[in-house]
Structure 1
Amino acid sequence: MEPANIETGELFTLQLSSEMESLTALEKLIEDLADKYQISEDTFANMMTCLNEAFINAIVHGNKLDVKKKVFINAEVDARRIIWTIKDEGAGFDYNNLPDPTAPENLENLTGRGVFIVKQLADQCIFNGIGNELELHFKI
Protein backbone atom coordinates (compact mmCIF):
# COMPACT_ATOMS: atom_id res chain seq x y z
CA MET A 1 0.00 0.00 0.00
CA GLU A 2 1.40 3.39 -0.99
CA PRO A 3 1.52 6.19 1.58
CA ALA A 4 -1.20 8.79 1.12
CA ASN A 5 -0.21 11.62 -1.21
CA ILE A 6 -0.71 14.80 0.78
CA GLU A 7 0.33 18.00 -0.87
CA THR A 8 -1.81 20.48 1.04
CA GLY A 9 -2.12 18.63 4.34
CA GLU A 10 -4.98 17.18 6.33
CA LEU A 11 -6.33 18.15 9.75
CA PHE A 12 -7.79 15.79 12.34
CA THR A 13 -9.35 17.06 15.57
CA LEU A 14 -10.59 15.69 18.88
CA GLN A 15 -12.33 17.41 21.78
CA LEU A 16 -12.06 15.18 24.84
CA SER A 17 -13.38 15.42 28.38
CA SER A 18 -10.84 15.49 31.21
CA GLU A 19 -11.09 11.86 32.26
CA MET A 20 -8.73 8.93 31.78
CA GLU A 21 -11.27 7.05 29.65
CA SER A 22 -10.86 9.71 26.94
CA LEU A 23 -7.33 8.46 26.33
CA THR A 24 -8.79 5.59 24.27
CA ALA A 25 -10.05 8.02 21.58
CA LEU A 26 -6.64 9.69 21.34
CA GLU A 27 -4.83 6.36 21.07
CA LYS A 28 -7.23 5.27 18.32
CA LEU A 29 -6.51 8.45 16.34
CA ILE A 30 -2.74 7.88 16.69
CA GLU A 31 -3.13 4.29 15.49
CA ASP A 32 -5.39 5.30 12.59
CA LEU A 33 -2.96 7.99 11.40
CA ALA A 34 0.01 5.63 11.74
CA ASP A 35 -1.80 3.13 9.51
CA LYS A 36 -3.05 5.69 7.00
CA TYR A 37 0.32 7.39 6.52
CA GLN A 38 2.58 4.32 6.90
CA ILE A 39 4.39 5.79 9.90
CA SER A 40 7.45 3.88 11.12
CA GLU A 41 7.23 1.85 14.33
CA ASP A 42 9.74 4.13 16.07
CA THR A 43 7.83 7.31 15.21
CA PHE A 44 4.55 5.64 16.17
CA ALA A 45 5.97 4.61 19.57
CA ASN A 46 7.33 8.13 20.16
CA MET A 47 4.00 9.72 19.24
CA MET A 48 2.07 7.33 21.47
CA THR A 49 4.37 7.99 24.44
CA CYS A 50 4.41 11.78 23.98
CA LEU A 51 0.70 12.18 23.38
CA ASN A 52 -0.23 9.92 26.30
CA GLU A 53 2.01 12.00 28.54
CA ALA A 54 0.74 15.34 27.18
CA PHE A 55 -2.90 14.28 27.49
CA ILE A 56 -2.51 13.01 31.06
CA ASN A 57 -0.68 16.22 32.02
CA ALA A 58 -3.48 18.27 30.40
CA ILE A 59 -6.27 16.54 32.30
CA VAL A 60 -4.47 16.18 35.65
CA HIS A 61 -2.35 19.34 35.93
CA GLY A 62 -4.13 21.64 33.45
CA ASN A 63 -7.82 20.85 33.88
CA LYS A 64 -7.46 19.40 37.43
CA LEU A 65 -9.61 16.38 36.45
CA ASP A 66 -12.63 18.67 35.96
CA VAL A 67 -14.80 16.67 33.52
CA LYS A 68 -16.52 19.89 32.44
CA LYS A 69 -13.20 21.08 30.99
CA LYS A 70 -11.99 19.83 27.62
CA VAL A 71 -8.70 18.94 26.04
CA PHE A 72 -8.46 19.99 22.39
CA ILE A 73 -6.24 17.92 20.12
CA ASN A 74 -5.31 18.61 16.51
CA ALA A 75 -3.16 16.53 14.19
CA GLU A 76 -2.00 18.33 11.06
CA VAL A 77 -0.43 15.98 8.55
CA ASP A 78 1.55 16.90 5.46
CA ALA A 79 4.02 15.03 3.27
CA ARG A 80 6.91 15.41 5.74
CA ARG A 81 5.51 15.56 9.27
CA ILE A 82 2.65 15.39 11.73
CA ILE A 83 2.16 18.36 14.01
CA TRP A 84 0.10 17.56 17.10
CA THR A 85 -1.39 20.34 19.22
CA ILE A 86 -2.71 19.58 22.70
CA LYS A 87 -4.50 22.38 24.56
CA ASP A 88 -6.22 22.30 27.95
CA GLU A 89 -8.45 24.86 29.66
CA GLY A 90 -6.14 25.32 32.63
CA ALA A 91 -4.10 28.34 33.70
CA GLY A 92 -0.85 26.95 32.27
CA PHE A 93 2.53 26.54 33.96
CA ASP A 94 6.09 27.82 33.79
CA TYR A 95 7.66 25.22 31.51
CA ASN A 96 11.04 27.01 31.63
CA ASN A 97 11.55 26.41 35.36
CA LEU A 98 10.92 22.71 35.84
CA PRO A 99 13.23 20.67 38.08
CA ASP A 100 15.78 18.66 36.11
CA PRO A 101 14.67 15.01 36.44
CA THR A 102 18.25 13.87 35.74
CA ALA A 103 19.68 15.81 38.71
CA PRO A 104 20.85 13.46 41.51
CA GLU A 105 18.33 14.87 44.00
CA ASN A 106 15.44 14.11 41.59
CA LEU A 107 16.38 10.62 40.38
CA GLU A 108 14.26 8.86 43.02
CA ASN A 109 11.16 10.99 42.37
CA LEU A 110 8.19 9.09 40.97
CA THR A 111 6.93 12.06 38.92
CA GLY A 112 8.36 15.04 37.08
CA ARG A 113 9.80 13.40 33.96
CA GLY A 114 6.96 13.96 31.48
CA VAL A 115 8.06 17.19 29.83
CA PHE A 116 11.67 15.95 29.77
CA ILE A 117 10.60 12.71 28.01
CA VAL A 118 8.40 14.55 25.50
CA LYS A 119 11.26 16.89 24.62
CA GLN A 120 13.54 13.89 24.02
CA LEU A 121 11.12 11.90 21.84
CA ALA A 122 9.46 14.56 19.67
CA ASP A 123 11.40 16.19 16.83
CA GLN A 124 10.21 19.57 18.08
CA CYS A 125 8.33 20.62 21.22
CA ILE A 126 6.83 24.12 21.51
CA PHE A 127 4.77 25.52 24.40
CA ASN A 128 2.57 28.57 24.03
CA GLY A 129 3.28 31.59 26.25
CA ILE A 130 1.31 30.49 29.32
CA GLY A 131 1.98 26.76 29.02
CA ASN A 132 -1.52 25.38 28.42
CA GLU A 133 -0.86 24.44 24.79
CA LEU A 134 1.83 22.13 23.47
CA GLU A 135 2.83 21.60 19.85
CA LEU A 136 4.71 18.40 19.00
CA HIS A 137 6.35 17.77 15.62
CA PHE A 138 7.19 14.32 14.27
CA LYS A 139 8.88 13.69 10.92
CA ILE A 140 7.21 11.00 8.82
Structure 2
Amino acid sequence: MNSTESSYSLRLPAQISEIRHIEEFLYSISIISQLGQEKVHTLLLCIIEAYTNAVLHGNAYNPNQVIDIIIEVLDDKTLSISIINEGPTFSLDKAKDKAKVSKEGNEGGRGILLMDYFSDTLQVFSDNKKTTVTMTFSLLLST
Protein backbone atom coordinates (compact mmCIF):
# COMPACT_ATOMS: atom_id res chain seq x y z
CA MET A 1 0.00 0.00 0.00
CA ASN A 2 1.37 3.41 -1.00
CA SER A 3 0.03 6.80 -0.06
CA THR A 4 0.69 10.49 -0.28
CA GLU A 5 -1.30 13.08 1.63
CA SER A 6 -4.35 12.77 -0.63
CA SER A 7 -3.68 9.75 -2.84
CA TYR A 8 -3.68 6.12 -1.70
CA SER A 9 -3.01 2.99 -3.72
CA LEU A 10 -3.26 -0.74 -3.26
CA ARG A 11 -2.03 -3.38 -5.73
CA LEU A 12 -3.57 -6.84 -5.50
CA PRO A 13 -3.26 -10.03 -7.54
CA ALA A 14 -6.30 -10.75 -9.70
CA GLN A 15 -7.86 -13.23 -7.26
CA ILE A 16 -11.28 -13.04 -5.62
CA SER A 17 -9.74 -14.15 -2.31
CA GLU A 18 -7.84 -10.84 -2.17
CA ILE A 19 -11.09 -8.92 -1.54
CA ARG A 20 -10.39 -9.28 2.18
CA HIS A 21 -7.66 -6.59 1.91
CA ILE A 22 -9.95 -3.92 0.48
CA GLU A 23 -11.83 -3.03 3.68
CA GLU A 24 -8.60 -2.65 5.67
CA PHE A 25 -7.18 -0.45 2.90
CA LEU A 26 -10.28 1.75 2.86
CA TYR A 27 -10.22 2.24 6.65
CA SER A 28 -6.50 3.15 6.52
CA ILE A 29 -7.50 6.45 4.87
CA SER A 30 -8.01 9.00 7.63
CA ILE A 31 -10.95 10.87 6.08
CA ILE A 32 -12.97 7.62 5.88
CA SER A 33 -13.35 7.56 9.67
CA GLN A 34 -15.18 10.90 9.41
CA LEU A 35 -17.85 9.51 7.10
CA GLY A 36 -21.06 7.88 8.25
CA GLN A 37 -21.29 4.10 8.30
CA GLU A 38 -23.77 4.04 5.41
CA LYS A 39 -21.41 6.05 3.19
CA VAL A 40 -18.45 3.80 4.06
CA HIS A 41 -20.49 0.68 3.23
CA THR A 42 -21.52 2.25 -0.09
CA LEU A 43 -17.88 2.97 -0.95
CA LEU A 44 -16.86 -0.55 0.03
CA LEU A 45 -19.67 -2.10 -2.03
CA CYS A 46 -18.66 -0.12 -5.13
CA ILE A 47 -14.95 -0.89 -4.76
CA ILE A 48 -15.63 -4.61 -4.28
CA GLU A 49 -17.97 -4.69 -7.30
CA ALA A 50 -15.36 -2.97 -9.48
CA TYR A 51 -12.58 -5.23 -8.19
CA THR A 52 -14.68 -8.36 -8.78
CA ASN A 53 -15.45 -7.23 -12.34
CA ALA A 54 -11.74 -6.59 -12.91
CA VAL A 55 -10.87 -10.11 -11.71
CA LEU A 56 -13.64 -11.87 -13.65
CA HIS A 57 -13.84 -9.88 -16.86
CA GLY A 58 -10.69 -7.78 -17.07
CA ASN A 59 -8.01 -10.18 -15.96
CA ALA A 60 -9.99 -13.39 -16.56
CA TYR A 61 -8.94 -14.90 -13.20
CA ASN A 62 -5.24 -14.65 -14.13
CA PRO A 63 -3.42 -14.49 -10.75
CA ASN A 64 -0.25 -13.36 -12.54
CA GLN A 65 -1.96 -10.09 -13.42
CA VAL A 66 -2.61 -7.30 -10.93
CA ILE A 67 -5.37 -4.86 -10.13
CA ASP A 68 -4.59 -1.40 -8.79
CA ILE A 69 -7.00 0.49 -6.57
CA ILE A 70 -6.30 4.22 -6.33
CA ILE A 71 -8.25 6.47 -4.00
CA GLU A 72 -7.77 10.22 -4.16
CA VAL A 73 -9.25 12.91 -1.95
CA LEU A 74 -10.01 15.84 -4.25
CA ASP A 75 -10.41 19.28 -2.64
CA ASP A 76 -11.78 17.69 0.58
CA LYS A 77 -15.20 17.47 -1.07
CA THR A 78 -14.85 14.57 -3.48
CA LEU A 79 -13.42 11.08 -3.36
CA SER A 80 -12.18 9.57 -6.62
CA ILE A 81 -11.78 5.80 -6.76
CA SER A 82 -10.09 4.11 -9.72
CA ILE A 83 -9.76 0.39 -10.30
CA ILE A 84 -7.25 -0.50 -13.02
CA ASN A 85 -6.90 -3.94 -14.57
CA GLU A 86 -4.78 -5.42 -17.32
CA GLY A 87 -7.75 -6.57 -19.34
CA PRO A 88 -9.16 -5.99 -22.80
CA THR A 89 -11.25 -3.09 -24.04
CA PHE A 90 -14.48 -2.51 -22.14
CA SER A 91 -17.59 -0.51 -23.09
CA LEU A 92 -19.57 1.01 -20.22
CA ASP A 93 -22.69 1.50 -22.36
CA LYS A 94 -22.69 -2.13 -23.52
CA ALA A 95 -22.17 -3.33 -19.96
CA LYS A 96 -25.09 -1.22 -18.70
CA ASP A 97 -27.34 -2.55 -21.47
CA LYS A 98 -26.34 -6.14 -20.69
CA ALA A 99 -26.88 -5.56 -16.95
CA LYS A 100 -30.37 -4.18 -17.53
CA VAL A 101 -31.31 -7.29 -19.49
CA SER A 102 -29.72 -9.65 -16.95
CA LYS A 103 -31.59 -8.21 -13.97
CA GLU A 104 -34.68 -9.97 -15.26
CA GLY A 105 -33.72 -13.28 -13.68
CA ASN A 106 -30.10 -14.06 -14.50
CA GLU A 107 -27.38 -14.21 -11.87
CA GLY A 108 -24.73 -11.51 -12.00
CA GLY A 109 -24.42 -8.49 -14.21
CA ARG A 110 -25.78 -5.94 -11.77
CA GLY A 111 -22.51 -4.68 -10.30
CA ILE A 112 -22.11 -2.01 -12.94
CA LEU A 113 -25.64 -0.75 -12.24
CA LEU A 114 -24.89 -0.57 -8.50
CA MET A 115 -21.70 1.40 -9.13
CA ASP A 116 -23.57 3.75 -11.47
CA TYR A 117 -26.41 4.23 -8.98
CA PHE A 118 -24.29 4.90 -5.88
CA SER A 119 -21.49 6.98 -7.41
CA ASP A 120 -21.81 10.60 -8.50
CA THR A 121 -19.96 9.76 -11.71
CA LEU A 122 -18.87 6.51 -13.30
CA GLN A 123 -16.37 6.55 -16.15
CA VAL A 124 -14.43 3.89 -18.01
CA PHE A 125 -11.19 4.47 -19.89
CA SER A 126 -10.09 1.48 -21.91
CA ASP A 127 -7.46 0.56 -24.46
CA ASN A 128 -5.94 -2.75 -25.52
CA LYS A 129 -3.60 -2.86 -22.51
CA LYS A 130 -5.70 -1.84 -19.53
CA THR A 131 -9.10 -0.69 -18.35
CA THR A 132 -9.66 1.95 -15.68
CA VAL A 133 -13.02 2.30 -13.94
CA THR A 134 -13.27 5.60 -12.06
CA MET A 135 -16.06 6.55 -9.69
CA THR A 136 -16.46 9.80 -7.79
CA PHE A 137 -18.35 10.33 -4.55
CA SER A 138 -19.22 13.52 -2.74
CA LEU A 139 -17.73 13.66 0.75
CA LEU A 140 -20.49 14.86 3.02
CA LEU A 141 -18.82 14.48 6.39
CA SER A 142 -20.87 13.28 9.33
CA THR A 143 -21.34 15.65 12.23
C-alpha distance in structure 2 between counterparts of 1:22 and 1:106, whole Å: 27
- TM-score norm. by structure 2 comes to 0.81
CA distance in structure 2 between the aligned counterparts of 1:137 and 1:56, rounded to whole angstroms: 18
1:116 corresponds, among 113, 116, 129, to: 113
Distance 1:81 1:106, change over 3 A: closer
Deviation at 1:53, TM superposition (A): 0.3
Alignment of 1:1-140 (within 5 A): 10-33=6-29, 36-78=32-74, 79-98=76-95, 99=97, 101-103=99-101, 106-130=103-127, 132-140=131-139
Tell me how far apart the structure 2 counterparts of residues 35 and 24 of structure 1 sit (CA, whole Å): 21
* SS in structure 1 at match of 2:9: strand
Q: Which structure has the highest helix share of the two? A: 2
CA RMSD across the alignment: 2.2
User: Percent of aligned pairs with the same residue?
Assistant: 19
- Deviations, residues 25-53 of structure 1 (Å, cap 9, x unaligned): 21211223366550122221111110010
Q: CA deviation at 1:24?
A: 1.6
CA deviation vs aligned residue, 1:86-118 (integer Å, no higher than 9, x gap): 000011322212335445x74111111111110
Aligned to 1:120, the other structure's residue is in SS state helix
Structure 1 stretches lacking a partner, 5+ long: 1-8
SS in 2 for 1:107: coil
Moved over 6 A (4+): none
2:7 counterpart SS class: strand
Name whichever of 26-35 and 67-76 sits farther off: 26-35
TM-score by length of 1: 0.83
The equivalent residue for 1:6 is none
